[in-house]
Amino acid sequence: MTVRVLLFASYADAVGKNELTLELDDGSLVADVVTRVREMAGGRALPPAPLLAVNAAYAPPSTVVRAGDEVAIIPPVAGG
Amino acid sequence: MSAARLTSSAIDVAALTREVAAGDRGAVSIFLGTVRNSNEGRAVNGIDYSAYDAMAVAEMNRIADEASERFRGVAIALEHRIGTLQVGDVSVAIACAHAHRAQALDANRYVIEELKRRVPIWKREHYLDGTSEWVDPLRRPAEVAP
């Protein structure tokens, strides 16, 4: 299945992209998305357990990803 | 009632205030966050704000809903600006109105603290020495070449 992955701020700079698509096995977790991104060039700048969101809401790393989901890897936030 | 927005232009604080004001709400609290001219001892001359737009708006609305649960009867409107801001520019404005001042003030404090803790917005500070860095409130950010 295909999922869309969003990167932001320092994570987007590290990987050189702010959006990518991944092919994942059925039953994959959002934690597996992080593992895959960390294997990419520059991906080691991401921590092993960053904040994650699925479809615009925070989600734990154990969340099962579904086809068409939008997974976001969230750097430390600094609004305000 | 509550309404949260992101904007790429200057925040109209008077308009935000009018959104929550009402005859039965005798207290309106306004919080403004502005770009400070220094951080961690370094002179700052501007900040680029960026956001995960859809989630930032959703999360700000969730926070406003939580505040409405905690402080019954409060009306909330908030706006966060993204893009390039100069020192002194308003980056975030929160208006809370209630029949009484305690709830208006406490709701505002709740909203700004939660916003800073969990709304997916990032800032890249630009320093007078020509360098810039992504700000990580939890630790000193890594140095990035200008």
* pLDDT tens digits, A26-75: 999 999 999 999 999 999 999 999 999 999 999 999 999 999 999 999 99
**CATH no. for B2-130:** 3.90.1170.40
Note whether residue A80 is domain-resident. Answer: no
CATH of the domain at A40: 3.10.20.30
Note whether residue A39 is domain-resident. Answer: yes
Note whether residue A79 is domain-resident. Answer: no
This prediction's pTM? 0.93
Note whether residue A38 is domain-resident. Answer: yes
In this structure, what token pair is assigned to residue A57? 């809401």
| Chain B, nearest residue to A55 by Cα | B55
Structural domain that includes position A15: 2-74
In chain B, what are the domain boundaries?
2-130
Note whether residue A6 is domain-resident. Answer: yes
Cβ(A3)–Cβ(A43) below 8 Å: no
Which residues of chain A neighbour B83 with C-beta distances below 8 Å? none
Low-confidence ranges of chain B (pLDDT < 50): 141-146
Question: Which tens digits make up the pLDDT trace of B12-21?
Answer: 999 999 999 9
Question: Which tens digits make up the pLDDT trace of B85-115?
Answer: 999 999 999 999 999 999 999 999 999 999 9
Indicate if the alpha-carbon torsion angle B56, A56, A37, B114 is positive or negative: positive
| B92/A79 Cβ within 8 A | yes
**What is residue A29's DSSP assignment?**
B
Q: Among B58, B116, B142, select the one facing A56 at the smallest CB separation.
A: B58
Count of structural domains, chain A: 1
Write down the pLDDT at residue B146.
Answer: 45
* B15 CB neighbour count, 10 Å cutoff: 12
Whether A57 has its CB under 8 Å from any CB of chain B: the answer is yes
Cβ(B80)–Cβ(B56) below 8 Å: yes
